[in-house]
Structure 1
Amino acid sequence: MSNSNQNPVLNGMAINEVVASITINNKVKGLHNPTRTFEEVIADAKAQLSVALASEDMQPTGGIYELANVILQIAEYCGEQGIDLEELIREQLLYKLMQPAVKVQE
């Protein structure tokens, strides 16, 4: 797995910068599809996660790259829809931090 510190282009990128970068990259390469529906994005993510699960069975780190691909697909969708993913993640994190701790039974 590569370290983002070795790539100055990605080092310290904020979430919305990732959204913009993947959207521009996909437009330039002809991979941009602004007509995708929410359902299509979820179906694609589910397929990628299935690949990640299968990859983990074969190679312990193989599935990690599929997880990253899912995040990038979601990032692009959010960019297409004008969703501020960074703010959404911040809101959800704050919500989770405010929730009381629940002890998991073993």
Structure 2
Amino acid sequence: MTKRHILTITAILSLSAFAGAAQANADFNGAGQQAELDCEGGAVDINGANNILVVHGSCTRLNLQGAGNRVTIDLAKQASIAITGANNDIRWKAPATTKPKITSVGVGNKIYRAK
């Protein structure tokens, strides 16, 4: 094997390791649907109305725009929830006693720790 081949293989392996460490994001757009999502340690963006969603994966951020959604989400230790809309019901789970940073714009939104 030549020195050039070894350098190429090393570069490919390094990039593969770096790509595996990147956090994923989950996106959902819809109305009147039921779904399960996995944010894989990243953020989740939800746009829609009257959906029932369960989000797994120690999410770092939930951004929701819409109305009448019911979302249950697993959060990371340092997470945030940002809601714009009306009558959304957000149930979050987080490690130990940690709480997310919460921003809610709109009326009738309920955001609370799941039991």
Q: Same fold (TM over 0.5)?
A: no
Larger radius of gyration: 2
Q: Which is bigger in relative contact order (C-alpha 8 A, separation at least 6)?
A: 1
TM-score (norm 1): 0.19
* More strand, by proportion: 2
